[in-house]
Structure 1
Amino acid sequence: MFPEYDVIVVGAGHAGCEAAAAAANMGSKVLLITMNMQTIAQMSCNPAMGGVAKGQIVREIDALGGQSGLISDRTMIQFRMLNRSKGPAMWSPRCQSDRMLFALDWRQTLEDITLVDFWQDTVKEILIKDGKIRGVKTSLGIEISSKAVVLTNGTFLNGLIHIGEKNFGGGRTGEKAATGITEQLVTLGFETGRMKTGTPPRVDGRSLDYSRMEEQPGDENPGKFSYKETPRLTKQRSCWITYTNTKVHEILKTGFDKSPMFSGRIKGLGPRYCPSVEDKINRFADKDRHQIFVEPEGWTTVEVYVNGFSTSLPEDIQYKAMKEIPGFENVRMFRPGYAIEYDYFPPTQLKLTLETHLIEHLYFAGQINGTTGYEEAACQGLMAGVNAHLKINEQNPLILKRSEAYIGVLIDDLVNKGTEEPYRMFTSRAEYRTLLRQDNADIRLTEKSAALGLADEERLSLVKHKIDQTEKLVEELSREKVFPEEVNDLLAEFETSPIREKTSLLQLLKRPQLTMDHIKRIKPSMASWLESLSTDALEQGEIHIKYDSYIEKERLMVEKMNRMEDLMIVQNFNYDSVSALSFEGREKLKKTRPQTIGQASRISGVSPSDISVLMIHIGR
């Protein structure tokens, strides 16, 4: 019934979809197995993509030839660039998505890839021979052969949903949990743990009074995620902001004795940076209100997502408390919020390719690795799909350094440090974030993806054109100079100090008070030429000029660290033979099996003295 596949992807969430698309677009014959063909790429939580650091990840996925940015652009209903008041390293694109269109577009995208096949079933077991993957076995008893398997099970592994004192098995509301895989992997020697996440109620937008809320419109000139020529928004839907209050908090507290989180029925740790509303009230008892974002779920639906009100309290308590939120006085609830517990596998059991140490050609991606968020899952899926294809074709893996991408930071953190709570990406996790901006992901990564066959000629052409225009811009601004008598009156108008000698436009643009629009007024003869350049090139050039010293400082730091990254450790290095290593350092090194000295230096529990000893032993 089934041929032998190159790659089987288990699960069709954000990680599974990117994994299947990437492996197939590189030439692998892929089977995508999902429990429900109608929920491919479903946005199980909020209807949005991007955000702080997450937006950078979506742009990196796009630059690598992934699909999330393209699909987000085609299905968004609002776009905002966050943190514009801060430096460009902090700028983060975010969009509100049409939940139904997003999933539909993903399915159509996958169906358009001829090397992707689909099968609706539950995988109960992975098939192994001589320590290497040979396929999967489904709940129907069907054995399907493959050279590699990517597990992207999300919250479905022994998933348990909690609403107040009620709990029942499920991967998300209305869908059953997946059993069998965890138990098998444990018998094979894998460590496992439990994590928890949650979601808020969904309500009827027709029952809300928006006049009592603060409107949050999209950007006046909306941007997009993809570096390709995707359409820009010409109309947008607003989100709205309201707040909880002491009365809401008091009502919620009446349900705390029935809370699965406080009663101990939930054993897994939840996301620290996206806590439930009851957790916020408990942890921040001094605050008399918390922000609520009221987010539409699409262009045409009346369903609304109540962001900031994630809860697992009894449904009657949820409803009663919501009615005290300004604008929610007559609210009608579509479904209550809930918490979900699920199995995950500590990611220290993986290589940097996301292949497991114990089973060759078996890859984990997404929430199975302890992460939270669509974007974090999608980028892992992309990397697992790429590396599964490369491994079965005996090609060198794709491993992104911490200095090359947020994706590199995320995977390096997971593999070397592990996580005991749902891992979420932040700009603060990236020590080279001035280099890893959202505006230059194409410059950083497109060439790599083109070499793999993921980025097409259009992508390569666009990024080369952007680089050429940016270099020409910097060159022209450096060459063009102005005299004090020409510009000092304008500089005074722009509230910046006068110049005393002939000065280049490049030097003027370094001033924080001046932008490219000011340069057009300072040198009108250049205005039409500047307007002929792409918006991306103008933005890129201005950032490089203003932040040149910071960028150069980080580049020097990268060069220093790369010297350690280039010191390879042989795969079967015998750490027990190095008596000078600390006991903890030796155990951590044996478990993680780092590929380089640089990677070893970032493993929690490996000390600087352990690194010095290692460097001596590898002949440094």
Structure 2
Amino acid sequence: MFEEVYDVIVVGGGHAGAEAAAAAANMGSKTLLATMNLQTIGQMSCNPAMGGIAKGQIVREIDALGGYSGIITDKSAIQFKMLNKSKGPAMWSPRAQNDRMRFAEEWRLALESTPNVDFYQEMISGLLIEGNTVKGVRTSLGIDIKGKSVVLTNGTFLNGLIHIGNKQFGGGRAGEKAATGITEQLTDLGFESGRMKTGTPPRVDGRSLDYSKMIVQPGDVHPEKFSYLDTPILSQQRDCFMTHTSEMVHDVLRTGFDRSPMFNGRIKSIGPRYCPSIEDKINRFADKSSHQLFVEPEGWDTVEVYVNGFSTSLPEDIQFKALRSVVGFEKVKFFRPGYAIEYDYFPPTQLKHTLETKLLNNLYFAGQINGTTGYEEAASQGLMAGINAHLKINDRDSFILKRDEAYIGVLIDDLITKGTEEPYRMFTSRAEYRTLLRQDNADLRLTPMSHAIGLATDERLRRMEEKRKKSDAFIKFFKQTSVSPESINPILEEVDSALVKQSDKMFKVFSRPKVTMDHMMQLEAVSNFVNENNLGQEEMEQAEIQVKYAGYIQKEKSNADKLHRLENVKIPDNFDYSILKSLSFEAREKLQSIRPITISQASRISGVSPSDISVLLVYMGR
């Protein structure tokens, strides 16, 4: 059945697997996507939404690099919001509600229309290995498929165990069986594995809800989109709604705590700290009398509704009784109960920055197998694994993003250097250079780099260069053009800002906190420049941010440059840390285990102190 040797074999068809297959194929690799169910490619296993705080930045970065997630999101969106708009642009985060069925359909169609992608539906139960190099995969039917590289994106399927109250059964997702064999083989080879937990809320029948009792949550009046390409912008949107739990709801939930797998010891693994179950919330925050619930439609036409904020593994009768006590849910009908799932993962300190494993050549891990949580985090890892698998088998330099270049760089660096003992989720606070890593400039940061390695298309590069050229010209215009007191003072008076007594450069006036682009557009010279140069919303927004945050941006660039000096101090591959007696015992142990490539990476390892770094620098002659 499989006579040819594939360049890249991707195991798993979730967000990580789909992006990995697309990236490798688009770069020219003959790619096989092997998954247990071809009907669930790109499945939104949890909430029907993409983006959010820091996650939206990641989706835009994936798009800038030439990935598909932004395009698929735009094609299947039912609502769009730019979060944190009241804060600075470093915090702005796009988020879309999606039609769950159309999202998966668009992924399937996108992959089917990508040359070089083959598909096969069956469980992969093991790897083919020669020496310390992976050579392909073996299916549960005993079929060997040869490949030059393999990307594992198994999600929650590795020995997955689903919990609902006292009931537990094997499964990687509701209605789908778990994957077996791979964990056992890898641990026999010397890999360290662990267990993690995640959960999901009940899905309910929207026809049984009373929305008149809830608070409406509409999308943005002028919705934007994710992709930098010509994807559709929403002309109409579906509302979401918000309601709250109450003490009555909490009391009902508490009656099931004795049967909760979280509290009776059945679940021993750690769940996501920033997305706790409803029982965990009322247990940890006992002083809170209510918690928000977001009622999210699953699509344009379906009546299925996702109850965001009510993730639970309590017995189904308790779930049902508690939800019926929620305002607007008095007559609720269940489509299915919520559940918790435990699954195997591999601590990511066992990987290189390319996401290739240290123990086996040409084997890559991406997504929840690395201990992360979230569609966006998974998709970005899949993209990077697919890129690097292609580059490795073609003897080309690896593609690694630095912490000041992308949230994806922060994510992977955190995983490799710090590891994670709980499901890792991205936040803006994890990025020390978040003023540089905004959602509005992901294309300016990343598209040239991706184009250089052969992934981002010429069209993407052309669009990016046109945007840069237009926004730079607009900034130059503000720096070179003066404005008279007569023209600008009425605007300054309107925003309660100090008046000017003589003509001044527009750049200086525009830099003031309360002066916006809308104010500047009241000036004839500015509106004429915009019309004559055919500037769009993106170029105008980019210019405004560059003007207003010039000082902050320059400061972060300076800090990043200092970091790069340490990045240039390489540590020899087989360096023996035991000879450095001045290192602390913990530092010696961590450095020996993680084996950082540079002094900069070493400095970010938990347990390695500044004095330990000084010892290394002295030894390296710095």
TM range, smaller chain: over 0.9
Q: Which amino acid aligns with 1:427?
A: T
Structure 1 Cα separation of the partners of residues 338 and 82 of structure 2: 28
Structure 2 Cα separation of the partners of residues 141 and 385 of structure 1: 25
Q: Which amino acid aligns with 1:34?
A: T
CA shift for structure 1 position 568: 1.2
Partner of 1:144: 145
Structure 2 Cα separation of the partners of residues 486 and 75 of structure 1: 46
Partner of 1:250: 251
Partner of 1:565: 567
Partner of 2:352: 351
Please point out which of 582, 585, 600 is paired with 2:584: 582
Deviation readout 1:134-168 (Å, 9 max, x if unpaired): 11111000111111111100000010000000000
Partner of 1:420: 421
Output aligned runs, 1:178-327, within 5 Å.
178-327=179-328
CA shift for structure 1 position 609: 2.0
Deviation readout 1:479-516 (Å, 9 max, x if unpaired): 22122233323321232221122112111111111111
Deviation readout 1:18-73 (Å, 9 max, x if unpaired): 00110111111111110011111100000000000000000000011100001101
2:511 corresponds to 1:510: yes
Partner of 1:74: 75
Structure 1 Cα separation of the partners of residues 307 and 592 of structure 2: 46
Partner of 1:595: 597
Structure 2 Cα separation of the partners of residues 490 and 116 of structure 1: 57
Structure 2 Cα separation of the partners of residues 178 and 227 of structure 1: 37
Output aligned runs, 1:411-490, within 5 Å.
411-490=412-491
Structure 2 Cα separation of the partners of residues 490 and 241 of structure 1: 39
Using the size of structure 2 for normalisation, the TM-score is 0.98
Q: Which amino acid aligns with 1:214?
A: I
Deviation readout 1:179-205 (Å, 9 max, x if unpaired): 111111111111111100000000000
CA shift for structure 1 position 570: 1.9
Partner of 1:553: 555
Structure 1 Cα separation of the partners of residues 327 and 134 of structure 2: 55
| Gaps in structure 2 of 5+ consecutive residues | none
Partner of 1:530: 530
Structure 2 Cα separation of the partners of residues 360 and 587 of structure 1: 24
SS in 2 for 1:5: coil
CA contact (8 A) 2:247 2:290 kept: yes
Partner of 1:610: 612
Structure 2 Cα separation of the partners of residues 619 and 183 of structure 1: 44
CA shift for structure 1 position 574: 2.2
CA contact (8 A) 2:32 2:118 kept: yes
Q: Which amino acid aligns with 1:536?
A: E
| Gaps in structure 1 of 5+ consecutive residues | none
Q: Which amino acid aligns with 2:268?
A: K
CA contact (8 A) 2:491 2:519 kept: no
CA shift for structure 1 position 610: 1.9
Deviation readout 1:87-117 (Å, 9 max, x if unpaired): 0000000000110000001011111112111
Structure 2 Cα separation of the partners of residues 607 and 181 of structure 1: 37
Structure 2 Cα separation of the partners of residues 490 and 125 of structure 1: 68
CA shift for structure 1 position 605: 1.5
SS in 2 for 1:195: strand
CA shift for structure 1 position 269: 0.3
SS in 2 for 1:147: coil
Structure 1 Cα separation of the partners of residues 492 and 621 of structure 2: 59
CA shift for structure 1 position 583: 2.0
Deviation readout 1:293-333 (Å, 9 max, x if unpaired): 00000011000000000000010110111011111111111
Output aligned runs, 1:397-412, within 5 Å.
397-412=398-413
Deviation >3 Å, runs of 4+: none
Q: Which amino acid aligns with 1:579?
A: K
Q: Which amino acid aligns with 2:344?
A: D
Using the size of structure 1 for normalisation, the TM-score is 0.99
SS in 1 for 2:43: coil
Deviation readout 1:420-451 (Å, 9 max, x if unpaired): 00000000000000000000000000001101
SS in 2 for 1:242: strand
SS in 2 for 1:57: helix
CA shift for structure 1 position 526: 2.7
CA shift for structure 1 position 552: 0.7
CA shift for structure 1 position 528: 3.4
Identity of aligned residues (%): 66
Structure 2 Cα separation of the partners of residues 561 and 96 of structure 1: 38
Structure 1 Cα separation of the partners of residues 585 and 363 of structure 2: 30
CA shift for structure 1 position 582: 2.2
SS in 1 for 2:263: helix
CA shift for structure 1 position 286: 0.5
CA shift for structure 1 position 274: 0.2
2:37 corresponds to 1:36: yes
Structure 2 Cα separation of the partners of residues 406 and 195 of structure 1: 23
Structure 1 Cα separation of the partners of residues 269 and 228 of structure 2: 39
CA shift for structure 1 position 529: 2.6
Partner of 2:28: 27
Structure 2 Cα separation of the partners of residues 490 and 114 of structure 1: 55
CA contact (8 A) 2:10 2:17 kept: yes
Deviation readout 1:320-364 (Å, 9 max, x if unpaired): 110111111111110000000001000011111101111111110
CA shift for structure 1 position 463: 0.6
Structure 2 Cα separation of the partners of residues 206 and 9 of structure 1: 40
Q: Which amino acid aligns with 1:136?
A: V
Structure 1 Cα separation of the partners of residues 561 and 611 of structure 2: 22
Structure 2 Cα separation of the partners of residues 308 and 67 of structure 1: 28
Q: Which amino acid aligns with 2:373?
A: T
Partner of 2:124: 123
Deviation readout 1:538-595 (Å, 9 max, x if unpaired): 0011001111111111011001111001111122222233333222212211211111
Structure 2 Cα separation of the partners of residues 468 and 178 of structure 1: 50
Structure 1 Cα separation of the partners of residues 314 and 53 of structure 2: 29
CA shift for structure 1 position 613: 1.8
SS in 1 for 2:274: coil
CA shift for structure 1 position 619: 2.6
Partner of 1:102: 103
Structure 1 Cα separation of the partners of residues 85 and 182 of structure 2: 45
